[in-house]
């Protein structure tokens, strides 16, 4: 949930997103109920279900690199991993994120 303190809506309103992976093939909206139940009274809600896509190849031949769809986690752990995967497919080696010490003035 985020609110006006992050300047994403007017003061007095709060925006909560409940998300998950569908585990049944029927009523998806009902599957979110354990999360929705935590929210208390809801002014208005918008529900949608969508397909989750993954690329069929790593793009090394076609040089077309496709990311996976965003998954329903509310953080970017998996999205970051996907970016690192694409970096390695493009460059042929993993991204080195070691932080080097700042050079000091002599």
Partner 1 sequence: MGLWEKKRCRNFFIYIAEMDFDDEGTWKGIDVNSQPMSDVFKKFKLEDNTIDFIGHAVALFNNDQYLDEPASDCIKKIQLYMDSIGRYGDHPFLYPIYGLGGIPEGFTRFCAIHGGTYMLNQDIDEVVFDASGKVEGVKAGDKIAKAPLVICDPSYVKNLSGMMQTTKKLMRKICILSHPIPNTGANDSCQIIIPQKQTGR
Residues lying near partner 1 in the complex (CB under 8 A): 1-9, 12-23, 28-29, 31-32, 34-36, 38-57, 59, 61-69, 71-75, 77-78, 86, 90
Nearer residue to partner 1 within complex by CB, 73 or 94: 73
Nearer residue to partner 1 within complex by CB, 97 or 104: 97
Nearer residue to partner 1 within complex by CB, 12 or 103: 12
CA angle, 93 then 94 then 100, to 5°: 115
CA nearest neighbour of 91 among 52, 65, 55:
65
CB of 65 to partner 1, least distance (A): 5
CB of 30 to partner 1, least distance (A): 10
> Which single residue is written with the structure tokens 């460059």?
91
Both tokens of 84, joined, read: 């690192």
CB of 34 to partner 1, least distance (A): 5
Nearer residue to partner 1 within complex by CB, 50 or 102: 50
CA angle, 80 then 28 then 48, to 5°: 60
| Residue 87 neighbours by CB under 8 Å, 6+ apart | 94, 95
């Amino acid at each position: 949930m985020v609110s006006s303190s992050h300047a994403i809506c007017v003061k007095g309103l709060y925006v909560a997103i409940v998300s998950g992976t569908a585990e049944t093939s029927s009523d998806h909206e009902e599957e979110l109920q354990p999360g929705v139940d935590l929210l208390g009274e809801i002014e208005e809600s918008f529900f949608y279900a969508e397909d989750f896509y993954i690329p069929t190849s790593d793009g090394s031949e076609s040089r077309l690199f496709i990311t996976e769809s965003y998954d329903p986690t509310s953080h970017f752990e998996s999205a970051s991993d996907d970016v690192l995967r694409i970096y390695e497919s493009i460059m042929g080696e993993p991204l080195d994120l070691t932080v080097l010490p700042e050079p000091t003035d002599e």
